[in-house]
Every structure is written in C-alpha cells, then in structure tokens.
Amino acid sequence: MANVAVIGAQWGDEGKGKIVDWLCERAEIVVRFQGGHNAGHTLVIGGNEFRLSLLPSGVVRSGKMSLIGNGVVVDPWHLLKEIDAIAAKGVAVSPDNLRVAENAALILPSHGEIDRARERRRGNNPIGTTGRGIGPAYEDKVGRRAIRLCDLAEPATLGAKLDELLRHHNALLRALDAPEVHRPQLEKSLNEIAPRILPYADTVWDRLDQARRAGRRILFEGAQGIMLDVDHGTYPFVTSSITHPAEAAAGAGLGVRSVGYVLGITKAYTTRVGGGPFPTELTDAVGEELGMRGKEFGVVTGRKRRCGWFDAVMVRQAVKVAGIDGIALTKLDVLDGFQELKVCVGYRRNGATLDHLPANANVQAEIEPVYESMEGWSESTQGARSWAQLPALAIKYIRRIEELIEAPVALLSTSPERDDTILVRDPFAD
C-alpha cells in the first residue's frame, strides 16, 4: 500500500482539507510537513464546520494520529487556540492523538510584527502575505537563530537564545519604524506556555519510521499549492516554504521512498488570493459569479479570492514539476448552469505562443490566455456520488481536462460534504 502525499496543484485553496479528511478514513496517520497557520482548511462534517489552519485534518477523525513535522513553523499560542476551538465543537485533541516535532521552529510575536511591517513598507506593491510571521520564521530557521520547540524545555538557556534572535529582530523593526521587542516579556510568555505545549513534543521522525516499518498507512498533508512554492511558483508572489511533495519526506523526517502516490488537488476553475500573476483571471460578472457560488473567501484572512477559468497549462506544469500521479478535482458543482465554459490551453505574448508559465515575473504579467470553449451543462452535479449521476457534458469537461493536464482524475468532489466524493482510483492502493 502506498503512502500518499496531498498537495495543491494551483495557488492553494483547492479544497485539500475535505480531500485529506476523506482520505483519512483509509489512513492511520496524518502528518503536516510544511507551512504554518497561514493556510486554512474548511471541513464540513455532518453539518458542522471545522476551520483548521495548523492542525492536520486528521484530528477530526477518531482513532487517527495527527503529526506536525519539522518542516512546519509553529505558533504555539495559535496551536493551543485552535485546539481549544475544535474542542468546543466536541473534538478532543491531546498528546494521545497529536504530536509535534521537537525540532520544529517556533513563530514568535515578533515574526508577525516584522511580516506586517514589511507589507506596510511595500505600500501599493505588497506580496500578499497573511502577516502571521511565516516568512520571517523560516528566515530565522535558515539563519540558524530560530527558537525551536525543544528549546522551551531548557529555560536556563532560553534567555541567551532570545538575546541572539532579538538582536536581529529589533534591528529590523527599528529599520521598519516598528516598536522593538522587550525580551523579558517574551521570555516570560514562552515560559508560561511551555507546560501546555511541551506535552505534545515528540521525535516525530522516529514515530513515523516505526509506523512505516509496521506497514501503517501515512497521509502527508501539504499546505498552499505548487504554484506558491518558493522555487517553482510565481516568484516573488509565493509562500516561504517548499510546497513540492518532495518536502513531504524531508519535512516529516522520512526517506524519499516513503512517499508513494502524489495526489494533486485542483478546482474545476482557478482562484488566487493576494497579488501576483493570474493569466485566466476574470474581473467581469462571470468572475463574480464564480466567487459567489464557490464562496471564495480565504479561511485564514477572509480576503476575497480572485477567480478565473481553469488554467490547464499551469496545472500541467504542476503535474510535471511535482510528479503528480493523479488529481482530485473539486468544486465541479460551482460550474453548474454556465452555458459556456472556457479552459486555458496556451499563453500568448508578443505574438508568440507559450506552452508553460515562464519563470520571469515581468513575462508572467504580460502573457494572455489562449482559450478553448466548451458547452456547459444545465443539470446539477451537487452531491453526486457516482459517474452515473453526472451529466454527459460534465464528464466531457472532466475528460478534456485529463487530456490537457496529462494526468487522470482519481477523485471528484461535488460539494463540501465529506461523502459527496466520487472515487475513481484509490491512491492508497497503488
């Protein structure tokens, strides 16, 4: 049985939460391997809505172990707040079903201050970060000055480590005309939270190795999407982590052969939050209609998402770069009732046709989509749970997408509800 890595094949917000939750029924362990609390997942289970941003989606399933790997940057205050929030909805989270890598880097309040101050300084040209300190936390991790979860267990040396970190942070804050951080207060806050967060600390890599050797099914849950990857995305309008499925192994503490099947999640249309290029973006009534039907607002920030037609060129590039074996196509029901649908099959710039999204940001901003039009369907696909319940024109649309992106549809989602899913090919069976 293959271990499965789930990643976004667009710019994030593809509906990974529901797909991961659905796959959790077949998995025994769910592990987050990158990102932080800047990416939200919405799960709808029996009429109850759960909004998660740092916790693995597996926490809402009883009997599953959820792990946060070393590749994740962790805001300990937010983690406890999220645990309390879902506990209020009847989901118990404890060290019995959640563990956090002891070597995970922490997000401190000053990281958020730096993040937001930088965005303010950018004025009318922001990157579009969530302002939650993810990027600055990764900078400190690479700069070898991060405070890690295991450091909270050593209060005698924590102060000296904070001094080293804040020499850097306060210099940045001064340059950004932002208030500096008072080290004693920060140290006090960390010492106060340590007894609550340290029980979750674990050698996650060892726990996963034991699970792998025992043949237990592992589900690797990615955040954001491949087109937000710091290397392969639309740089500089990207996230600060590696969203590529290869990070599933490194960010969890396993060998590369531990990841078997790579499942890419993609909407039946395209959305993006924040700045950056978006070749198929629609700023007309059709774009507004897609946003309204799809309830396209960010789970974490509440920001309105930009909407457009399905970009097969971009998704095909994601399939090739990330080694995606199959895709889960979500929100097909949002397209119900459109008389005409369009799919981007190429780009045009200065009279030349391109078959991929170039790396240069200036070129990305200048390209125009080349569309192929398809007839829409009038029937409803919402809640369909088999191919037989889908309109013929909807199936035709799906098959054309498969041809264009050069990858098969393994799963099809027709509503936010967990069970409104059509299984074409079980990723765990490969």
Active site residues: 13, 41
Quick one: which of 366, 399, 393 has its CA closest to 380?
393
Residues paired with residue 42 on neighbouring β-strands, in sequence order: 51
As a whole number of angstroms, the distance between CA 397 and CA 319 comes to: 18
As a whole number of angstroms, the distance between CA 415 and CA 383 comes to: 6
As a whole number of angstroms, the distance between CA 143 and CA 149 comes to: 17
Measured in degrees and rounded to the nearest 5, phi and psi for residue 34 equal -160, 170
Beta-carbon count within 10 A of 209 CB: 15
Place of tokens 């264009």: 404
Strand, coil or helix: what is 66? Answer: strand
- The strand pair at 201-202 and 218-221 is best described as unpaired
User: Are the C-beta atoms of residues 100 and 202 closer than 8 Å to each other?
Assistant: yes
Quick one: which of 167, 124, 130, 162 has its CA closest to 146?
162
Alpha helix (H) residue ranges in 198-311: 204-213, 246-250, 285-293
User: Are the C-beta atoms of residues 425 and 4 closer than 8 Å to each other?
Assistant: no
User: Are the C-beta atoms of residues 13 and 305 closer than 8 Å to each other?
Assistant: yes
Residues in the chain: 430
SS3 content of the chain, % helix, strand, coil (to 5): 40, 20, 40
As a whole number of angstroms, the distance between CA 101 and CA 248 comes to: 14
Helix (H) or strand (E) holding 19: helix 16-24
Quick one: which of 62, 125, 73, 71 has its CA closest to 98?
62
